């Protein structure tokens, strides 16, 4: 289902710092803009409550995930909160195996081809190329020449509506969007406006 959601819209919303009391309203405007994967990093305030709120308030075709998942214990908490996707800054096999064991989708962070192949061997559904600012489109093109056909490589870090083109041309099939989409303190209207700009850019390019 993760790949289907990303085929519909390849943009993942990363809501680092979101509070539970604003999760429902921000989730609604993201969904209305076209987002179908929303991630709450675990270093946000009370992240499991926000994950539960998003899961309970959004349609089933919107996947809710947790980011910055670092331990197998956190995987269990994500599952209990209704989360469906585990997103990681790294590619720890223990965490990947724990997430796979409880039926969650896996999006580990990779920064080398060795990490990418290892993550795929553990059952990763998509690979998070992080940090994209340091890697660049040339890395994506080179990796995709050797990774298994159909591998989804999603750049995360520094992505704007204006720089998506070069990554898509290199073979990227989606993006994780952080502070360019949402920062703590932004209003719902501000998030809605940015979400619409990103989706418009994605539709124009994809």
Which of the residues are catalytic? Answer: 39, 128
User: Partners of 110 in the beta sheet?
Assistant: 129
Task: Report the greatest alpha carbon distance in the chain.
Answer: 45
End-to-end CA distance of the chain: 20
CB atoms within 10 A of CB 88: 25
CB atoms within 10 A of CB 19: 15
- Which one, of 185, 195, 187, 176, lies nearest residue 67 by Cα? 176
- Tell me 156's DSSP state: B
Judged by DSSP in three states, 19 sits in coil
């Amino acid at each position: 289902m993760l790949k289907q959601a990303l085929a519909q819209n390849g943009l993942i919303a990363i809501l680092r710092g979101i509070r539970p009391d604003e999760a429902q309203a921000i989730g609604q405007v993201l969904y209305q803009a076209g987002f179908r994967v929303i991630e709450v990093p675990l270093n946000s305030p009370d992240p499991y409550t926000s994950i539960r709120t998003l899961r309970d308030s959004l349609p089933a075709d919107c996947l809710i995930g947790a980011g910055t998942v670092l331990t197998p214990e956190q995987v269990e908490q994500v599952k209990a909160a209704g989360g469906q996707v585990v997103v990681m800054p790294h590619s720890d096999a223990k965490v990947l195996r724990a997430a796979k064991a409880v039926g969650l989708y896996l999006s580990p962070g990779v920064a080398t081809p060795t990490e990418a192949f290892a993550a795929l061997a553990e059952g990763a559904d998509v690979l998070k190329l992080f940090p994209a600012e340091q890697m660049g489109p040339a890395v994506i093109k080179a990796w995709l020449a050797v990774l298994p056909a159909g591998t989804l490589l999603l750049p995360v870090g520094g992505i704007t509506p204006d720089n998506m083109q070069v990554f898509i041309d290199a073979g990227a099939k989606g993006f994780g969007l952080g502070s360019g989409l949402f920062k703590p303190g932004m209003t719902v209207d501000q998030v809605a406006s940015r979400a619409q700009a990103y989706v418009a850019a994605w539709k124009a390019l994809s």
